[in-house]
Amino acid sequence: MTIDELVRQTLREWSAEADVPPGDLAGVALRRRRRSRLRTFAVVAGATATVIAAAVAVPALVRGEAPLGNDEPAIAVVAEPDPSRETVADPDSSPPKTLVAAGEVAAYSYYTWKEEKVSADRQVRKLTWSRYDRDKGVYEPTPWAWLDVARGGEAAAFLEEVPAPRVGVLTGRGAEVRWIALERPASAVRWSPDATRLLLTNYSANPDESYIPEDNSQMGMPPSRVGFTIVDLDSGRSDFRAVALDPDSPPNSRNDFRWSDDGALVWENTSTIPVSKKYYDLEGRARPAPSKEAETFQLAGLSPGGTRLAVDSPDRSAVVGIRDLATGKTVPLTPVSGYWIEQAEVWADDERLVVWACEQEGADGCVGGEFRNRLLLVGLNGGEGVPLSGFRKNSQREGESWVPVFTAR
């Protein structure tokens, strides 16, 4: 069996399992393959979805012709960046009650999930989003079906349902919701890195619905993704681009588009290696992948300065590796005392990573199993890790898991 066939087989296995959170399915598949080789050394955390916004201020929504799909004036509010870079944590809570942040990033939101039966043979995965309330200093649950928070934690974009015919935008504390009508319904929304645009993934049906066969295995519904929409917040213009699902897309019904690091392109997951993402320009035309950006299954990707890339480890001493882009050399991420590092979640800065890690037990195990893990701040040179959250009981089980969404501070 070739490596491509092995990855595709693993993807099919994951798509049939009920406990895979939506998001980075292709990445999980390859890491799962690696875990089968490195079982005695490290394990891989469950899939999470992350959004990293660049360090820019959120623009005001300005008045124009039908600014946001209605006749009301836009709200001139600018969300100021958070000047703090200190590490703040809630190491005793899972999910966290107070803000989790380090270096350049903060988890201004997170979600939990559960499966709800909608008929005798169908179920739907529903996400419950919580957002950090700066005034109260705690995370508060929201009524929204999908949420993305822009830099600084002030501005937010959200969907009321999945799929939704419109997207709501809040530009700061106390601001009223502005609504943007969509040509096609959407099931995901993400801020651009410069926080001037929104990227929505359009679906004709709920991508989180699945069949419940008699043997209780899970099968996704037929793919219903039809393309993406770019919303320019300055003008209120909304442009839909029809994009067919790539033949190499993972065999699950949700495959959202995400921004490239510079916001010039968007991409979708594929099951190909080593380049696991397919890129498009903002007109929906296929484009070559940016150098290095697509060559990793680790969620952290490129460091803020663009000098390092979080990748899979080159040997059996670790799961995560760090590639120096100037030299091309890749070294395993140095272990930290008492933990196995399972996944690189996001760069805090050029010298530190936020990772998922399980508590080491003996030479080759984790206390409570591989899916009991917590967020940990680690340096590239090892040493002691800084716990940022409490332990998830089981990162693959509803009611026992939560998924942070990190954004630039």
Q: What is the pLDDT of residues 164-176, one digit of tens each?
A: 999 999 988 778 8
Among 156, 223, 160, smallest CA distance to 190 is for: 156
312-355 pLDDT, tens digit per residue, is: 999 988 999 999 999 999 999 988 999 999 999 999 999 999 99
The encoded tokens of residue 81 equal 């960046």
* pLDDT for the residue 24: 41
Q: Give the whole-angstrom CA distance, residue 10 versus residue 364.
A: 24
Contacts for 72-78: CB closer than 8 Å, 24+ residues apart: 72/178, 74/178, 74/236, 75/171, 75/175, 75/176, 75/178, 77/171, 77/172, 77/175, 78/171, 78/172
The CA-atom distances, in angstroms, between 114 and each of 24, 222, 278, 299 are 18, 21, 30, 23
Instruction: Give ∠ CA 225-228-229 in degrees, rounded to 5.
Output: 140
Tally of structural domains, the chain: 1
* pLDDT beneath 70, residues of the chain: 1-84, 213-220
pLDDT for residue 251: 74
Residue 179, domain extent: 3-408
Whether the bond between 163 and the residue before it is cis, its omega within 30 degrees of 0, is: yes
Kindly calculate the radius of gyration of the chain based on its CA atoms and give it in whole angstroms: 20
- Considering the entire predicted model, what is its pTM? 0.81
Specify the CATH number for the domain of residue 334. Answer: 2.130.10
Q: Which amino acid is at 172?
A: G
d(CA 197, CA 105): 20
Within 10 Å of residue 136's Cβ, how many Cβ atoms? 9
pLDDT value at position 69?
A: 45
**Contact indicator for 261, 193 with CB cutoff of 8 Å:** yes
